[in-house]
Amino acid sequence: MNSNSFKLIGEGYFELRHDGILIDSWTVKNTVVNDGKDAIATGSALTDFTNMRIGTGTTSPTVNDTELETEVKDAIASTSNPEANKIKFEKAFTFGSGEVYDISEAGLFDGAGTASVMLNRLTFSPRSVSNGSVLTVNLTITVA
């Protein structure tokens, strides 16, 4: 009998800048959700999950999550392989005139819109963003 198995471990690293000055940086472990695990198990590749979303939801993540609680931005992330068995998704979200949020959640999806599948979700203490802010999000998934 083959007892090989693997797990997906996620971590987020964030940097918040305002007018080019580093204001804050933090790291958060995240939850790989059931729908994401099912998608990988049935043939999706980790590289399919390039839509990164951020929002203002504060409810702790669970494995049953399918969406962010309160999405405010959705964009295509770049991907890289910094080490063996790791994939990193990165996106710098910029905020312009009239955009004022307390960002507190992020996640990866396999597309835009409500029909997409969520891979992971994480929450953190709210960080205020406004005109001139840039929030860079790095989400790394490790296959262990």
Q: What is the residue-wise DSSP string for 14-79?
A: EEEEETTEEEEEEEEEEEEPHHHHHHHHTT--GGG--EEEEE---SPP-TT--S-SSEEEEEEPEE
Q: What is the pLDDT, as a whole number, of residue 1?
A: 46
pLDDT per residue over 54-106, tens digit each?
A: 999 999 999 999 999 999 999 999 999 989 999 999 999 999 999 999 999 99
Q: How many CB atoms lie within 10 A of CB 61?
A: 21
pTM confidence score: 0.92
CA distances from 98 to 39, 75, 91, 137 (A): 37, 19, 21, 21
CA distances from 16 to 1, 11, 22, 41, 45 (A): 49, 17, 6, 34, 29
Model confidence band, residue 5 (pLDDT cutoffs 50, 70, 90): confident
| Encoded tokens for 52 | 């990164």
For the chain, domain boundaries? 10-132
